[in-house]
A = this chain, B = another copy of it.
Amino acid sequence: MNLENFFTPASVAVIGASRNPQKIGYGILKNIIEGQFKGKIYPVNPQAQEILNFPSFAKIADIQPLPDLAIIALPASLVLDTVLESAKANIKNFIIISAGFKEVGPEGATREKDLAKIVTEYNLNVLGPNCLGFINTHHLLNASFASTSPLKGGIAFASQSGALCTAVLDWAAKGILGFSYFVSLGNKIGISEIDLLELWENDANVSCIALYLEGIKDGRRFLHATQRISLKKPIIIISPGFSQEAQNAISSHTGSIATESQTLTTVFSQAGLIHAKNLEDLFDDMTVFANAKLPGGRNVAVVSNAGGPSILTTDEIIKQNLFIAPLTEKTISNLAEKLPRIINLRDPLDLVGDALSTRYEEALREILHEQVVDAVIILLTPQIMTEIEETASVIVKLSKKYDKPILTAFMGGVSVERGVRILNEHKIPNFSFPERAVGALRQLVAYHEWIESSKGKKAFFVENKKSILQISDLPKLNQIIEKGKQRKNGFLSDQETFEILKAFSFPIPPYGFANNSAGVATMARFIGLPVVLKISSPDLPHKSDLGGVKVNLDNFEKVGKAAKMLETIVKNESHNLSGWSFLIQKMIWADHELIIGAKKDPNFGHLIMFGAGGIYTEIYKDLAFRLAPLEKKDAQALIQETKVYQILKGYRGKEMANLGKIGEVLHLTSNLVMQLPEIQELDFNPLLVSDQEATIADAKIRV
C-alpha cells in the first residue's frame, strides 16, 4: 500500500461538508480550517454555494486539479455510490467517516463487502469506515471530527475505537503528551495497523507508537513488523478480549475476532511490545516512553521529603522486581557532608519534611552521579515550608545534566499544581501517585532489557525452513491427518498418533495393542515387565477419566487382573466407548511429570507450550508459551520461564533433569506442527523426565 501522501495531502475535499454546526461534515471542515492546514480545502455539497467561507462543489469530479484526499461524511446509504464515482474520477485516497457497516449487523456487513469490492477493484487507500478520521500535527492537518486537537509531539496513536480517541485526546490535553499522528482505524476495510506501523517505522516525527486494537488483521505479518520496529521505537499496545465476555462484546462492536489471550500475550512478549493492561497504564506508558530516558538497569533510588510515601514506593519497587540501589560508601559520605545529621543516609532517601529545594538539589546531584543508580523517583509532599516550584525547577535543571530516567510524584492537588506545571512544560513525567511511577519505570526497564536481549539476533524470528527435519513418509502421515479430519471430534486414534510420533523419532516407550486378556499377556511378555495398561479409545481422550490406566504391573498376575478390571470398564455400556482396545506400554520411572503441547491460532499459527504436567497442570497453570518455529536455544529459554524449572535444574540435592532431551522434544514438536500444519492441537502429557531421558508417556492429537 502506497500511503505516501495519504497522511500528507496537498489538498483535501470534504464530501458531505455542511453548514449545520450539529453535523459531522461541518465539524470536520472546521477542524481542517482551524488547524491551519496549509494545503487546499474543498467542501463538496451540491446544496451549498459556500461553507465556512470556502466555495462548495457539487461533486468531487468538478475539482481540478483533483484533491489528494477525499473525506466522506455522508449517510451510509450514499457512501458506495460516492466512492465509486470518485474512484472513477481517479481519486485514490479516502477517509470514510460514515458508520452503518459491519458493526450494525447483516445489512451493514453486506454493504461493507460491496465497498471492499470497489476498494480492491480500483486499488484505493481507505481509512475506515466507521471512524473519526486522522490528525497529523506536523502537517497541520486535523482531518477528524474530534473536538480537541493534541499537542505536537512524538507519539503516533492509532485506535480501533473512535470513542477512545476522543477520550484520549481530552485526557491528553491536560498533560504532557504530544502526538505526531492520531488515527481512528474504524472497521479497517483498507488501512490497517500494519500499514501504519510500516509507515511510522521510518518517520522521523514518530518516536513512540501506541495502539488500541480489538483484533489484529494479519497475525504473522503483524508479528514480523512489530519485532523489527520494536528495536527502533517502543510500541505500546492495549487490546481487550482477554475474557470470553469481552470477546462477545468485540464481535458486536467492530465485528473483529479477538485473538485468544494466551496467544496475544505470547505475541506481545516475543515482539517486545509494551503491553498496557488498562487505560491508565496506557497513559503512563505513553508518558514515560515519549519523555523519559531508558534506564541501564534495575537499580532505583527514591528521594523524598516524606517517610511514609517513600516506604510505600519501596514496597512497590520490590513488588515490581526492581531493586533499591545499593549506594556506595563514597556517595554516602558525600551525602553526609551536605545533609543535616538527622537524615538517614540510605536508599530510599528521606530528606525529611523541612527539605527546601537546595537540599533536594544537593542530594539529587549525588544520587544522579552515583554509578549504581539506574533511575531516580522523586517524591514531594506539600509541607508548610516545601518550595514546590523551586524544587520542580531544580529537577528540570538536573534532568538535562544526567542521562538517567527521572520520574516524579508530586503528591497532592491544588498545592502542587504549579510545580507540576513546570515539570509538564519540561517533559518530566510526573505521576499523582508514586506507585504509578514505579509501574511505568518497570515498563521502561522491561523494554530496555528486551532490546538488550535482542542484540545480535538480527531477524531472530525467522521461519527457518532449514531447521525442519525431512520426513520421508509425509504423504502417509497426511493421509492419517485427512482421516482424522473426517471424525467428529477430530482426535487421532492412539495407533495413528504413535505412527506420527515414530515418523518424527519422538522418544516413546515400547508399546503394543491387544483386544483381549490373552493378547495383553502376550504383548506384556513381548515388551517386558513392568508395564502400564490403558484403555485406548477415540471416545476417551483423557484415559484416566474412567480409571482406565493401571500402572506398575510388575508380574503377570497383576497384568491379568488389570486387564479384567479394564474390560469391565470398557464393556460398561453407559461409557459408550467405540473402537476400543488395550494399550500396553513399558513402564517408565521418572522424577518429573511435565507437559508439552501445541495449539493452532488461526491468525498467528502454532503456539508451543511447556510446563508442569500431570494433575498439577490445570491447577497451577505453570506453563510457558512460544510461537513456532522454535529453535533449540528458544526451547531452553522456554523451559526456564516456568517455575518447575527451579526443580528441574536440581533441587535439594536431587539430580538435574536432562534439559537437553526436553529441548529436543520441544524442537521436534515445533517441526511436527510446521510439517503437518493441519494439527489443531496436541498434548504430550505426561512427558516423563529423569536425569537421563525425556519420554512421552501419553499423547493426544486433534486435527
Binding site for B on A (CB under 8 A): 22, 24, 27, 100, 104, 145, 147-148, 159-164, 166-167, 169-175, 212, 214, 238, 240-246, 248-250, 252-254, 278-280, 305-312, 314-319, 324, 342, 344, 346, 348, 350, 353, 381-385, 411-416, 432-436, 542, 544-547, 615-616, 618-620, 622, 643-644, 646-647, 651-653
Q: How many copies does the complex hold?
A: 2
Contact B314 A652 (CB under 8 A): no
CB distance from A143 to the nearest CB of B (A): 15
Q: Which residues of B contact A252 (CB under 8 A)?
A: 344, 346, 350
Q: Which residues of B contact A383 (CB under 8 A)?
A: 163, 166
Contact B318 A246 (CB under 8 A): yes
Contact A243 B319 (CB under 8 A): yes
Most buried by B among A24, A104, A246, A436: A246
Contact A278 B412 (CB under 8 A): no
10 closest pairs, A vs B, by CB? A161-B308, A170-B412, A163-B306, A243-B318, A253-B307, A174-B413, A167-B411, A278-B435, A164-B308, A163-B381
Identity of the chain B residue whose Cβ is nearest the Cβ of A354 in the assembled complex: B99
Known: A163-B309, A280-B433, A544-B652. 16 other contacts (CB 8 A): A148-B414, A170-B382, A170-B416, A171-B413, A173-B414, A212-B308, A244-B318, A245-B315, A245-B317, A246-B312, A278-B316, A279-B433, A279-B434, A280-B432, A545-B652, A616-B616
Contact B342 A147 (CB under 8 A): no
Q: How far is the CA of A475 from the CA of B164 in the complex (A)?
A: 72
Would you give 13 A-B contacts (Cβ < 8 Å), ordered by A?
A: A163-B308, A163-B383, A174-B414, A212-B308, A253-B307, A253-B311, A279-B411, A542-B652, A545-B652, A547-B653, A615-B651, A616-B620, A620-B643
Q: Which residues of B contact A167 (CB under 8 A)?
A: 306, 309, 381-382, 411-412
Contact A546 B653 (CB under 8 A): yes
Contact B164 A240 (CB under 8 A): no
Q: Which residues of B contact A159 (CB under 8 A)?
A: 308
Contact B312 A278 (CB under 8 A): yes
Given contacts A163-B306, A167-B306, A643-B620, contact A24 B249 (CB under 8 A): no
Q: Which residues of B contact A254 (CB under 8 A)?
A: 307
CB distance from A288 to the nearest CB of B (A): 17
Contact A279 B435 (CB under 8 A): yes
Q: Which residues of B contact A172 (CB under 8 A)?
A: 413
Q: Which residues of B contact A545 (CB under 8 A)?
A: 652-653
Q: Which residues of B contact A620 (CB under 8 A)?
A: 616, 620, 622, 643
Identity of the chain B residue whose Cβ is nearest the Cβ of A344 in the assembled complex: B252
CB distance from A683 to the nearest CB of B (A): 14
Contact B171 A311 (CB under 8 A): no
Identity of the chain B residue whose Cβ is nearest the Cβ of A342 in the assembled complex: B104
CB distance from A148 to the nearest CB of B (A): 7
Q: Which residues of B contact A175 (CB under 8 A)?
A: 413
Q: How far is the CA of A24 from the CA of B383 in the complex (A)?
A: 11
Q: Which residues of B contact A382 (CB under 8 A)?
A: 147, 166-167, 170
Q: Which residues of B contact A647 (CB under 8 A)?
A: 615, 619
Q: Which residues of B contact A164 (CB under 8 A)?
A: 306, 308-309, 381
Q: How far is the CA of A436 from the CA of B283 in the complex (A)?
A: 14
Given contacts A245-B317, A353-B163, contact A240 B308 (CB under 8 A): yes
Contact A249 B170 (CB under 8 A): no
Q: How far is the CA of A303 from the CA of B375 in the complex (A)?
A: 41
Given contacts A246-B318, A316-B278, A411-B170, contact A307 B381 (CB under 8 A): no
Identity of the chain B residue whose Cβ is nearest the Cβ of A173 in the assembled complex: B413
Contact A253 B166 (CB under 8 A): no
Identity of the chain B residue whose Cβ is nearest the Cβ of A439 in the assembled complex: B278
Identity of the chain B residue whose Cβ is nearest the Cβ of A620 in the assembled complex: B620
Q: Which residues of B contact A413 (CB under 8 A)?
A: 170-175
Contact A350 B384 (CB under 8 A): no
Most buried by B among A104, A167, A305, A310: A167
CB distance from A408 to the nearest CB of B (A): 13
CB distance from A175 to the nearest CB of B (A): 8
Q: Which residues of B contact A385 (CB under 8 A)?
A: 22
